[in-house]
A and B are shown apart, each in its own frame.
Chain A
């Protein structure tokens, strides 16, 4: 006995699909005992109606025509289970995302919905009860990335008693937030709020911290991931190094200062920054004299701890995890190639917003005094250019960076605080100040700190008598403006961090067209990636400010805790199964299986047959197609079920063209 329920979804569906008509059609289909149209199927009363019908009409199968199964299949399976049915006796019909929302002609949409209903009713007749398998889950989580997102997620997970391994590719955790001077809208010091958390990560008994490390490869599935972690060679024994910095002081080889965004310079062997966690040195071979044909071994000679080991080799660790959190953050967009009219990086006094943070920061290359890079002079006129590589179709970047307006307002405020007789100008497109207290802050930048906001884009930056002329449009005044600046700060847009795409492929998750990792649902599953057991935290999913990142990371941690708290996971029973009597023992299935889920077994009579390891099978169905005698079959997507769909959905109906074989 089949129950058919069609959802009006308020008017989302019923505005285009005549749900009453579809229900009437379904009522006439073979085996359908009850057919009803419900205002909101997923609501409490909606689910109650279904449960009542299951009990009252002794239904053994249910078809629900509503939104996408990707949205609510799990909801309705639970509803079936509560009403005493096997949850896999459900079939959903997608008449919202794939019907009512994409068609405007009501009769056409209704006809399509009826076709889809017929196919679902036919399919559900072939359903068999399936039992969810329980598999043990490894109680350990992997957090990839040691910025504020990774730190927050790791601390939250570890606080719940679940061990965490944090992998960070650079020599220190802290990420971009460690580089910021102060944060909007409260102007509290970024390091002061971050540093204690960094130390807590290092000291937490439930957190294993692996810096200078990258995820090499990921195998397995939710609950049982096997991850290879590559520990890069830094020529420094982490256990021995005390962070005394003698090596850095004496090292004769200069190297770029990554932490200071390329301003100033560092040494080939160095500690990333004074507040680095862990506080250990690392050696960059590409800049070291010893690794470039010289015999220098100064750092080894001078190290009081004997921590320098030039022969240190890369190592690959294999670890098991139940869940993975990607927290790889963002990089600033490299603007130079796309904005030739801003000088392509040839003017030293055109800096990026991140470089300006370092100029503002007390731990930066200028000790917190704003000095322009060309001649070290203190700037009087500072011009900020918003949206460089954001909201600019002409360079193929339509997206908003979501933080540029606010950090620019903050930097303008700090400019006046550092240099009271300075003047800041901001070229902006729109002021986007949507957060709590943000608008008030941006307003204060104007009123109290005298920042001049000019609405318009900058066309050109060029030199004139030792200054930089910023030429732009004031779209409110309808005029061209030229400002002679001592220093120009570009608010560059945000990209997913370098290598995020590669990591996403290893994790088997998708990235959007801007390179950010994709969540499973934009509203309801904002931290889940499309692969079960993989979660997203912070700006790897899309640009975010610090409060949003912390909230997002906390949410990801909560999901991990929820998943691993019970120590076992329910695995989908929609896996392949072998009918041994039909199996010819050719093992084509074993050859095509991407997961090694098929093993060779022997029947008591000695005949070799294939056997599926249920906990390893992930239910792709590739074997189902490869099997010559049709012995292996994917639960929930059997040939019978799919053929029933094809046959029923194509049943001739009035108005369809039919093939004319004449």
Chain B
């Protein structure tokens, strides 16, 4: 058995980031295998409680990815997500969770390469955060 996988729950909005992850696949961009993607219609659907639930269930990291500002399929969902999740990130230390284990990012439907970079970078950061905890 190789090194244990760093497991990250990724909540991806259907219109931008999920399509971006598909694009990375279509371009055959190799990525670390630890990310488990959960598709949501919009990053605005991601309840901070879902993020906490993922940590509670043993996720090493959680990543929420939505559309770039101005690109939201629903107009403003990504802004709601940003506000809620920024607040959550600030609360994480109080809950004893290293905020380096939680990330919020933006990847568009055409940014396959960017998605692959995000997966690699965040896997690395989550891994480091957990090694240091």
Contacts and interface: CB of A to CB of B under 8 A. Distances in A.
Given A510-B71, A649-B9, A659-B58, A101 B40 contact: no
A112 B37 CA distance: 10
Interface string B64-80: 00000011011111001
A647 B57 CA distance: 6
Given A103-B30, A620-B44, A634-B45, A97 B36 contact: no
Contacts of A112: 33, 36
A366 B41 CA distance: 57
Contact of B59 (A625, A643, A650): A650
A654 B60 CA distance: 15
A303 to B, nearest CB: 44
The prevalent SS among residues of B at the interface is loop
A594 B47 contact: no
Interface in A619-642: 619-622, 624-626, 634, 637, 639, 642
A650 B74 contact: no
A559 interface: no
A518 B41 CA distance: 19
B46 interface: yes
Interface in A565-601: 574, 592, 594-595
B19 interface: yes
A394 interface: no
Contacts of B19: 70, 530
Nearest to A652: B58
Contacts of A592: 80
Contacts of A657: 4-7, 60, 130
B59 A594 contact: no
Contacts of B1: 654-655
A646 B9 contact: yes
Nearest to A592: B80
A104 interface: yes
Contact of A639 (B47, B60, B80): B47
Contacts of A109: 33
Nearest to B16: A510
A55 to B, nearest CB: 29
A530 B130 CA distance: 38
A625 B73 contact: no
A459 to B, nearest CB: 31
B58 A97 contact: no
A98 interface: yes
Interface string B99-130: 00000000011110000100000000000001
A97 B41 contact: no
Interface in B1-49: 1-2, 4-7, 9, 14-16, 18-19, 21-22, 24-26, 28-31, 33, 36-42, 44-48
Contacts of B29: 102
B64 to A, nearest CB: 12
Contact of A625 (B30, B33, B80): B80
A588 to B, nearest CB: 12
Nearest to B55: A659
A93 B17 CA distance: 16
Nearest to B23: A97
B73 A637 contact: no
A227 to B, nearest CB: 16
B87 interface: no
Nearest to B30: A102
Given A109-B33, A594-B77, A621 B7 contact: no
Contacts of A97: 21-22, 24-26
Interface of A: 68-71, 94, 96-98, 101-105, 108-109, 111-112, 115-116, 119, 505, 508, 510, 512-513, 518, 522, 530-531, 574, 592, 594-595, 618-622, 624-626, 634, 637, 639, 642-643, 645-647, 649-650, 652, 654-659
27 contacts: A68-B18, A68-B25, A70-B14, A98-B22, A101-B28, A102-B24, A102-B30, A112-B33, A112-B36, A510-B110, A530-B73, A592-B80, A594-B77, A618-B74, A620-B42, A625-B47, A634-B45, A637-B45, A639-B50, A642-B50, A647-B53, A649-B38, A655-B5, A656-B4, A657-B6, A659-B58, A659-B60
Given A108-B2, A620-B45, A650-B59, 11 more contacts: A97-B24, A98-B25, A104-B30, A115-B36, A508-B73, A508-B75, A512-B110, A518-B109, A531-B73, A646-B38, A657-B60
Interface of B: 1-2, 4-7, 9, 14-16, 18-19, 21-22, 24-26, 28-31, 33, 36-42, 44-48, 50, 53-54, 57-60, 70-71, 73-77, 80, 84, 108-111, 116, 130
